[in-house]
Amino acid sequence: MNSKFLPPLKPENSITSDIEFSEEDISHGDLSDLSKSSLIPRGSYRNRRRKAAAVLIAVWGGTITLHLVSWGIWAVLGLSGLISIPLVRLFFVRPNPSNQTTQALLDQWPFISLLVAAKNEEAVIEDLVKNLCQIDYPGDRYELWIIDDNSTDRTAEVLDRLTQTHPQLKVLHRGELSRGGKSGALNQVLPLTRGEVLGVFDADAQVPPDLLRQVVPLFSLKNIGAVQVRKAVSNQDFNFWTQGQASEMMFDAFVQEYRIFDGGLGELRGNGQFVRRIALNHCQGWNEETITDDLDLTFRLHLHRWDIELLMFPPVKEEGVTRLKPLWHQRSRWAEGGYQRYLDYWQPLIRNRMGTRKSLDALGFLFVQYLLPTATLPDYLMSLILRRMP
């Protein structure tokens, strides 16, 4: 076992002495091994600022050039037509309702490990533990791991107390020298888990009691590497900002459902994600070199030819951000992480490692979500200078 993953457990909260691991269970490796994969070029995570600067220069230069050449308008119309094709297709596909599986009667339910990385979550962590320890799933077929990521409040104390009354709960305390953020916490606990499927939740998650029974049947298809549960806002009616986030999450799920049915990318959204262990092994764990572990893992799963399914009902709820400033910071981080993965994995992406439909889907959203907004400013500046329409 890689010593990097061995947690500094104290005797009073060490609850893994009776667990045995097979070689397959613990052979996860760390992210330093990720570049050894033939799918991920060595040095993919380096020079991100240079890559971003090169893309910015190319977008600005291309936009300015299109304003200066006589055929620029035709190039724009042609590019717009190509980009609109996958978007228009979304309105004509009809997701198959049978994909939303009802509760299945299985001879043997798979063992599931539920993981939560918590840092200074004293206010909500007890409710989460009670919620996850009362779900409708065989008690001997799942475990709950809470990773206390060097909290400075009473999170560690609350968790240690809860281990006395909740047999499924196991706690890993990380030290002050721990690195890697949420990804590092999940990687550190990974060798201690036993689940065939690993579910990841945020500390403020509100999980429906029948969720696991709805998620598990979706893994009956061997090509499904992960399942993302639709997210919803628990405090939707609090104010304008939470109402907006609730609408956004529903629209995101709607678009993603159609993308998946049309052969495009299914995407992970952090809270409420379930990953098949063998698929996570192929990806060498969570990436500690990214700020959005879910979006990064999405690309790496698809690059390894795994599919991601979406469960629309029941949703997992989380608290919406109630103020503009932290909401802006959150969305800025999401945008940066989403863009970052294109910089990291552009080589296997353009080599069609995902497959044609998925590659076109990913490139289409690259243009719509990132490149076109980047081109907006130079487009308007040139329109003012040349006194013509954008």
Q: pLDDT tens across 17-52, in order?
A: 233 333 343 333 344 444 445 566 666 788 898 999
Binned at pLDDT 50, 70 and 90, residue 85 comes out as confident
Going along the chain, which residue ranges are E strands? 112-118, 142-148, 169-173, 197-201, 224-233, 273-276, 307-318
Binned at pLDDT 50, 70 and 90, residue 92 comes out as confident
Is residue 229 scored above 50 in pLDDT?
A: yes
For residue 309, give the nearest of 285, 353, 334, 275 by alpha carbon: 275
Is residue 230 scored above 50 in pLDDT?
A: yes
**Unique residue bearing structure tokens 């262990």:** 277
Q: Over range 361-382, report the average pLDDT.
A: 93
- Which amino acid is located at 164 in the chain? Q
Residue 171 pairs in a beta bridge with: 146
- Which amino acid is located at 146 in the chain? I
Is residue 155 scored above 80 in pLDDT?
A: yes
Of 65-69, 82-86, 211-215, 385-389, minimum mean pLDDT range: 82-86
Q: How many CB atoms lie within 10 A of CB 21?
A: 14
Which pLDDT score, from 0 to 100, does residue 45 have?
82
Which pLDDT score, from 0 to 100, does residue 97 have?
60
Which pLDDT score, from 0 to 100, does residue 10 have?
42
- Distance from C-alpha of 252 to C-alpha of 367, rounded to nearest angstrom: 17
**Unique residue bearing structure tokens 């996570």:** 280
Binned at pLDDT 50, 70 and 90, residue 3 comes out as very low
- Distance from C-alpha of 39 to C-alpha of 184, rounded to nearest angstrom: 22
Contacts for 141 with CB less than 8 Å, ≥ 6 apart: 109, 110, 111, 112
Which pLDDT score, from 0 to 100, does residue 340 have?
95
Which pLDDT score, from 0 to 100, does residue 35 have?
42
Q: Are strands 142-148 and 273-276 parallel, antiparallel or unpaired?
A: unpaired
Contacts for 259 with CB less than 8 Å, ≥ 6 apart: 90, 265, 266, 361
pLDDT digits (tens, 9 = 90+) for 43-79: 678 889 899 999 999 999 999 999 999 999 999 999 8
* Global pTM value: 0.87
Q: Over range 200-208, report the average pLDDT.
A: 98
Residue 222: both structure tokens together: 């061997």
Residue 11: exposure state from Cβ atoms within 10 A (0-12, 13-18, ≥19) = exposed
Please give the share of the chain, as a percent, with pLDDT higher than 70: 86
CB 217 within 8 A of CB 105: no
pLDDT digits (tens, 9 = 90+) for 112-145: 999 999 999 999 999 999 999 999 999 999 999 9
Please give the share of the chain, as a percent, with pLDDT higher than 90: 77
